[in-house]
Chain A
Amino acid sequence: MRAAVVVFPGSNCDRDMAVALRAAGANVTMVWHKDASLPDAVDLVAIPGGFSFGDYLRCGAIAAQSPICRAVVAHAERGGYVLGVCNGFQVLTETGLLPGALMRNAELKFICKTVDLTVETADSAFTAGYQAGQALRLPVAHHDGNYTVDPAILAQMQGDDRIAFRYASPLNGSVADIAGVLSENRRVLGMMPHPERAVDQGHGGTDGQALFRELVGQVVQA
């Protein structure tokens, strides 16, 4: 599987993301935000965590207008896979590839800790390595993870089984404790927790491994 990891000024989880993807067997290329196209035959684009463009204006807003993001949107529209983690999730909502928006945490504090999550659906290449209802522990590190979405769209997403992960208990004010959501075609996932920071015993947990293993495995077969 060929993966590209997008690097913006201020990205800080790009190398962790590449390490996690390579450990799962992906062939990874880093791409710079000014690049106008993705490498040939890329299956997956990963948008990493960090503080792209210093979070100026709104988290992810400037990154979403960068040349590489136009290529990422075109890739997603062709049915390509896209994974956005933390700031990457914010970028995906700003591009419109995922519905809703991520606002300042309800308690206004930056939250940096390992949290309990529930896998809500195993029906995606990202979550097929888990069981629906399975409990996970993954790190979060964000100031703006308070997911909000129009109630009608939320109802539709819930009806379509597009909530990927929820916080096991309220964390940051997110509607319905949502931690990650899927696109309509289930090939774009945005999530605030960091699976790439839980792929090695040295991280203190390996609950993120199954996401990368299954994603790389499934997309190779596709």
Chain B
Amino acid sequence: MKARVYVMLKTGVLDPQGEAVRHALGNLGFDGVQGVRQGKVIELDLADGTSEEVIVQMCDKLLANTVIESYRIEVL
């Protein structure tokens, strides 16, 4: 089985990289880009039957820093 984990900076945490991308889009003439948030996608190739609970533990222990990041798990 496969799962995908989306890691994003929490709402309210300033994302300087996202801001830089927003500026660059503006410079390319793409008007109206009001915000950019940059995150990570982590694809996991897992043993069949791995529970979502175990994936949550992976996220809490390593894949995300929950002080500044939130995550969302998608089991494929």
Contacts and interface: CB of A to CB of B under 8 A. Distances in A.
Q: Do the two chains bind?
A: yes
Contact of B67 (A65, A100, A104, A105): A100
Given A101-B68, A103-B68, A61 B62 contact: yes
Interface in B10-31: 13-14, 16-17, 20
A148 interface: yes
A103 B38 CA distance: 13
A57 B14 contact: no
Contact of A148 (B13, B17, B61, B63): B13
A70 interface: no
B50 interface: no
Contacts of B65: 58, 61, 94, 101
A58 B65 CA distance: 8
A173 B62 CA distance: 25
Contact of A101 (B20, B61, B67): B67
A173 B61 CA distance: 26
Contact of A106 (B14, B62, B67, B68): B14
A105 B20 CA distance: 12
Interface residues of B, number: 11
A108 interface: yes
A106 B61 contact: no
A108 B16 contact: yes
Nearest to B9: A103
A184 interface: no
For the complex of A and B, list the 7 residue pairs with the smallest distance between their C-beta atoms, beginning with the closest: A101-B67, A101-B68, A106-B16, A104-B16, A108-B16, A101-B65, A108-B20
25 contacts: A57-B62, A57-B63, A61-B62, A61-B65, A62-B62, A65-B61, A65-B62, A93-B67, A94-B65, A99-B67, A100-B67, A103-B16, A103-B68, A104-B16, A104-B17, A106-B14, A107-B16, A108-B16, A108-B17, A108-B20, A146-B16, A148-B13, A148-B68, A150-B67, A173-B16
